Structure 1
Amino acid sequence: MKKTLYCLMAVLAVCFSFASCDDDDFNVNHGTHAQLPETVLAGTYSGTYTVLKADGVTVEKTVPGTITIAAGENKYTATFASASDEAVVNGAEENPIDVAWSNDEIKFWGKTTPGTTKGFLNSAVLNGTLSNGTLTFRFSKTVRSGRKTVTNFYNFEGTK
């Protein structure tokens, strides 16, 4: 009897050791936030790019631009597309960026797509905030200007 009971317990222990959880571990308590941050962030924002010279302080120009953000395929991610005729960022995409609530603001960040394709942001990181309906972010872009390579910094601020 003891041997049968011991075998039964061993079989049950083995069975329960193979139980698994859902692979989506993003069931966190968002407090007062009823929606996922990527859903709230999604939309088209119109605003302006402030283009700063390589020193990161001197304003070179201010130009109009738009940003389109869509919810990503996974929770807490989004896709990002930038367009401006004058800021040399047409077609720039980030796929995907990470999105999270930070109190009553939404923060987003991501590594930009490296490469030489015209329009890609070519920056080490992109980060920004959606606060009180205003989207702001900053990135750098390295472009070839004649024989020189020039790095400019871009600040965007806009609303839906």
Structure 2
Amino acid sequence: MQHRDLNGLPLKIEREVSIDDPETGEEIGRIDLCLTCDHRSEVYFAFECKRLNVIDKNGRTSSLAKEYVMNGMTRFVGSEPQYAIGLKQGGMIGYVMNGKIDGAITAVNKQIKDHYKDLQMKPSKGLNPSSRLPENLTRESLHHLPDREFTIHHVFLPVSTI
């Protein structure tokens, strides 16, 4: 195994990056994962991460799809967005705790369709196959903001709790 100097790479990955209100300077949120290039911190790709299909100690599964949509996606495209202001893309990572990806995607898609107005989407539009990675684990959603269209790239990752 060779040692590589990763400090010279043009890509920087940070976690829990705080976002401040430009008017008040107060923290309005924290981006779970933030990718930036070079030294331009105003241009970034944000990922909001949420757990899905969580199994409690009694063996019951909670989908948490509504949490994913209303406390995850709305950080990008809600009535008062916190992340990616002025940008055109962002990402959601869904950690599927029971590993059942199809069920998680179906539950998230239902919540998106139920809350399309909050997400600034057209009726009946939900998750679409990814235009970048046509795999079972990825989807995307298109949102019509007042000043631009915004795409959220969704990645659903199976998690083993063995």
What TM-score do the two structures reach when normalised by structure 1? 0.32
Structure with larger Rg: 1
Question: Relative to total residues, which structure has the larger strand share, 1 or 2?
Answer: 1
Question: Relative to total residues, which structure has the larger helix share, 1 or 2?
Answer: 2
What TM-score do the two structures reach when normalised by structure 2? 0.32
